[in-house]
Amino acid sequence: MVKAAVVILAGTDGNSNLGRLVNGLESAREFAETEGDDLELIFDGAGTQWIPELEDEAHDYHELYQAVRDDASACDYCSGAFGVADAVEDAGVVTLDDHDGHPSIRSLVSDEYEILTF
């Protein structure tokens, strides 16, 4: 059994950030589809901006996002800081505020998750 935390930090501007998002989602899907693996998918920092975009059925990567959406969460603080808190809430994505309003990466490390950032 593998425990993986895929953290999407890439913002929505530019092709390189789109590539990082897609690579992160593909990695997350591989863990999600492997029986016995435990996946945490976290949208953090500027990465929180992807949630309203990926919720749009017309987005090129909506289906890929849907494949891992049940494992997704978002940084509570960053959702507000990047102006997407309402969209994240409307999407029903859980927000994390374990460490000063942010997800606790330390607790994931303590729980023996491999941390992959994109």
Q: Report the CATH number at residue 31.
A: 3.40.1260
Q: Is 91 helix (H, G, I), strand (E, B) or coil?
A: helix
Confidence (pLDDT) at 105: 98
All residue ranges of the chain with pLDDT < 50 are none
85 burial via Cβ count (<10 Å: 0-12, 13-18, 19+): middle
Confidence (pLDDT) at 63: 98
Confidence (pLDDT) at 26: 98
CB 90 within 8 A of CB 84: no
CB 6 within 8 A of CB 42: yes
Confidence (pLDDT) at 96: 98
**7 domain-assigned:** yes
Confidence (pLDDT) at 56: 98
Question: How many separate domains does the chain show?
Answer: 1
Confidence (pLDDT) at 46: 98
Confidence (pLDDT) at 50: 98
**42 domain-assigned:** yes
Domain that holds residue 48: 3-112
